[in-house]
């Protein structure tokens, strides 16, 4: 992957210091994007993922301003969405994967007029069921006791990816992202997912160009959920990425980037 990691100390909006990798991403400034009539793109990563989740896309979309914003500093999707809106430009295209898609829907609910285009990838518009919320509690307790790596290895990583030659390398990257973010982020993100609202009504009101995208073999957020989102969002497009599971941005980066580029062309024309 082309993103070159740069060790840094990042201070998030709440003043909390957090060790993180950031990248020297080839991208236009916000001002250059406005002049070129290409709207800025905000990317929101999934649970326990950092900017490396979108590394192939940030490299390929170097002709516009692209920012990957963290969703790690609060334990409700409402607060996470507020932080995104505080950091984002006045009007932008918004794409989120998995938990990033859930937060993107909350951003949309709070500020629909600022969203010029929406892309929801491998995500879920529904509230957490009581059964699934309860299943998170043992995970939280294990992570609190110092077993983040074991939880990721045993309960989360096996569900992420389709079979393929790059599977092991991507799983190793997922583990590295999770370990760098750490236990407290896992707990906050788990709490945010447990209490997230249902956004089906939010999606019914979308007027911006919208891409719904998923890996055909996604076991966490299956295809039928994405077909539902396409039905809910007027005029939306559903793109299914073959030979990909929950992380098509890494599993099939070229196909995913092509779909994003087509969607962004629509967004720029509105």
Helices (H), 20-166: 30-35, 55-60, 77-87, 99-110, 130-144, 148-151
Which parts of the chain sit beneath pLDDT 50?
Answer: 1-2, 4-27, 33-35
pLDDT for position 19 = 41
- pLDDT of amino acid 93: 98
Output the pTM of the full model.
0.89
pLDDT at 155: 77
Tokens for 181, please give them.
């973010």
Beta bridge partners of 11: 17
In whole angstroms, how far apart are CA 60 and each of 67, 109, 209, 247?
13, 29, 21, 17
- Return d(Cα 41, Cα 27) in angstroms, integer: 10
59-96 burial, b for 16+ CB within 10 Å, e for fewer? bbbeebbbbbbbbbbbbbbbbbbbbbbeebeeebbbbb
Do residues 66 and 3 touch, judged by C-beta distance below 8 A?
no
Would you state the pLDDT for residue 28?
Answer: 53
The full set of domain ranges for the chain reads: 5-269
Q: Tens digits of per-residue pLDDT, 53-81?
A: 999 999 999 889 999 999 999 999 999 99
- Distance CA(77)–CA(156), nearest Å, equals 20
Cβ contacts of residue 109 below 8 Å, gap of 6+?
81, 199, 202
CA-to-CA distance for 204 and 192, rounded, in angstroms?
A: 23
- Domain 5-269, CATH class in plain words: alpha beta
Element (H, E) at 10: strand 5-11
**pLDDT at residue 29 in the model:** 54
Of 110, 112, 100, 102, the closest CA to residue 42 belongs to: 100
CB 58 within 8 A of CB 33: no
């Amino acid at each position: 992957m082309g993103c070159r990691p740069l060790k840094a100390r990042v201070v998030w909006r709440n003043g909390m210091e957090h060790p993180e990798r950031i990248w020297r991403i080839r991208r236009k400034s916000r001002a250059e994007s406005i002049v070129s009539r290409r709207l800025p793109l905000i990317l929101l990563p999934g649970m326990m993922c950092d900017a490396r989740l979108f590394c192939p896309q940030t490299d390929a979309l170097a002709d516009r301003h692209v920012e990957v914003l963290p969703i790690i500093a609060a334990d409700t999707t409402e607060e996470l969405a507020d932080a995104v809106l505080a950091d984002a430009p006045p009007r932008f295209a918004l794409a989120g994967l998995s938990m990033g898609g859930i937060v993107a829907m909350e951003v949309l609910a709070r500020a629909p007029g600022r969203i010029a285009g929406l892309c929801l990838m491998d995500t879920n518009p529904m509230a957490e069921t009581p059964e699934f919320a309860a299943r998170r509690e043992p995970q939280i307790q294990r992570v609190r006791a110092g077993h983040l790596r074991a939880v990721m290895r045993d309960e989360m990583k096996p569900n992420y990816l389709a079979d393929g030659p790059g599977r092991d390398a991507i799983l190793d990257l997922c583990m590295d992202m999770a370990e760098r973010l750490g236990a407290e982020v896992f707990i906050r993100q788990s709490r945010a997912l447990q209490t997230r609202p249902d956004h089906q009504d939010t999606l019914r009101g979308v007027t911006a160009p919208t891409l719904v995208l998923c890996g055909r073999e996604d076991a966490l957020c299956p295809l039928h959920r994405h077909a539902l989102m396409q039905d809910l969002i007027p005029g939306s497009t559903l793109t299914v990425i073959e030979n990909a599971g929950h992380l098509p941005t890494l599993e099939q980066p070229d196909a995913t980037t092509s779909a994003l580029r087509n969607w962004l062309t629509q967004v720029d024309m509105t």
